[in-house]
Amino acid sequence: MTQTPLLFIPGPVQTHPRVKAAMAQDIAPWDNDTRPRYAAIRERVRAIAGGREGEHVCLPLQGCGHFIVEAALRTFVPPGGKVLIPNNGNYGVRMIRLAREAGRVPVAIDIPESQVATGAMVARALAEDPAIGTVSVVHSETATCVINPMEEIAAAVQAAGRRLIVDAVSGFGAIPFDIGAHPAADAIVFSSNKCLEAMPGIGFAVARVDRLEACRANAGSWSFDLSDLLHHSRTFGWGSIRFTPAIQSLAAFEVALDLFEAEGGQPARLARYSENARILYNGMVALGLTPWLPKERQGPIIVNMHQPPDPAFALQPFVDALKRRGILISNFSTTDAPTFRVGAIGRLFADDMRRAVAAIGETLEEMGVRRLAKDDLAA
């Protein structure tokens, strides 16, 4: 039996049928029916981030998460400027590369993948190097699902009198960060297609107006200049979109925001995903698999399990067999040790998670994989 599989991946995620349906139309971005809807979406997104009216603005940018991260680095870190980047996973590595290739000077704090970045680490690095102007942090490290403690990191940045950029791409909408409560934060950035459960195509920054005004000369790119987006809005109106957007994705996003609010917003989404991740974690442990993270450090976005050391296991055949059972997971590993990962986000519920665990159990049986630790297999 083949069926369209459900996506158990950390973006693009499974979406509600109404979100998908909203894309099936032709739309003129500059039309007077579109403009007020676009402006309203921006206000709603600013509010979700805790941005304050007059102090923060929502700046949508065409494209994916990397694009909006690059735009924030270019806008708020001057060319040649030093930016401190705690690195405990794949997305930290990517941020370092984005900064370097944009002509900024990344200063990494290298942290083992299974550990969090701390406020103390950031405070120490800032005290050692007064030339670092900005700290840029991945909030939820998607590769590992380690959640960095943004409150204490933001406090350390504030105490040192430096600026902060938050890459909240994987967790925004579920894992809270209130930019209004953190004056050191220049921007928080995220995309349409992860915990907000919409389609890919739009990046968002919620950013400080005063800092956007102070950073008019930095970007070295028209496309990636967030301060130009503010300038454009002021010149042409908050409903005006600079350059052609993924407009169908924006229509889908509007529906996704309705669903987000109807569900109960960020607290409800965090509760659902946490329960999803808990079912996956406990269910796969009960199957005899070994989790990559200890339970107390396991975040709610994805769950990584060690690939069973039995030679009967191979990732792609495992993924293919799961797909035949209606469950689609990533066919690559994003941790130092070989793992497979199962996403807990998107329009998926407890019953979907139980189905996924059952399918994983059946698949391992079918492949003849013994699910014991390496030592036990050797014994």
Residue closer to ligand PLP, measured from CB, 75 or 191? 191
CB of 189 to ligand PLP, least distance (A): 8
CB of 224 to ligand PLP, least distance (A): 13
Residue closer to ligand PLP, measured from CB, 170 or 363? 170
What pairing do the DSSP bridges indicate for beta strands 327-328 and 202-208?
Answer: unpaired
Q: How many residues bind ligand PLP (CB under 6 A)?
A: 12
Task: Check if the beta carbon of residue 255 is closer than 8 Å to that of residue 19.
Answer: yes
Amino acid identity for residue 43 in this structure:
E
- Choosing from 13, 69, 96, 202, the residue that interacts with ligand PLP (CB under 6 A) is 69
Single out the segment in contact with ligand PLP by CB under 6 A; choices: 37-45, 63-71, 178-186, 278-286: 63-71
**177-236 positions binding ligand PLP, by CB under 6 A:** 191
What distance in Å separates the CA atoms of residue 105 and residue 118, rounded to the nearest whole number? Answer: 21
Task: Check if the beta carbon of residue 344 is closer than 8 Å to that of residue 301.
Answer: yes
Give me the helix-helix angle, 247-263 and 265-286, nearest 10°.
80
147 lies in the site for ligand PLP, by CB under 6 A: no
- Choosing from 62, 87, 142, 148, the residue that interacts with ligand PLP (CB under 6 A) is 142
User: Quick one: DSSP state of residue 373?
Assistant: -
- Choosing from 16, 37, 52, 66, the residue that interacts with ligand PLP (CB under 6 A) is 66
Residue closer to ligand PLP, measured from CB, 191 or 249? 191
What distance in Å separates the CA atoms of residue 133 and residue 370, rounded to the nearest whole number? Answer: 52
Type and span of the H or E element at 2? none
- Bridge partners (DSSP) of residue 132 are 82
Question: Phi/psi at 152 (nearest 5 deg)?
Answer: -75, -30
Grouping H, G, I as helix, E, B as strand and the rest as coil, residue 167 is strand
**74-133 positions binding ligand PLP, by CB under 6 A:** 91
- Which CA distances in Å does 145 have to 89, 142, 221, 265? 9, 5, 32, 21
Residue closer to ligand PLP, measured from CB, 176 or 239? 176
Residue closer to ligand PLP, measured from CB, 112 or 130? 112
> What does the block give as tokens for 235?
């010149």
**157-176 positions binding ligand PLP, by CB under 6 A:** 167, 169-170
CB of 12 to ligand PLP, least distance (A): 8
CB of 261 to ligand PLP, least distance (A): 23
Site residues (CB under 6 A) for ligand PLP? 11, 64-66, 69, 91, 138, 142, 167, 169-170, 191
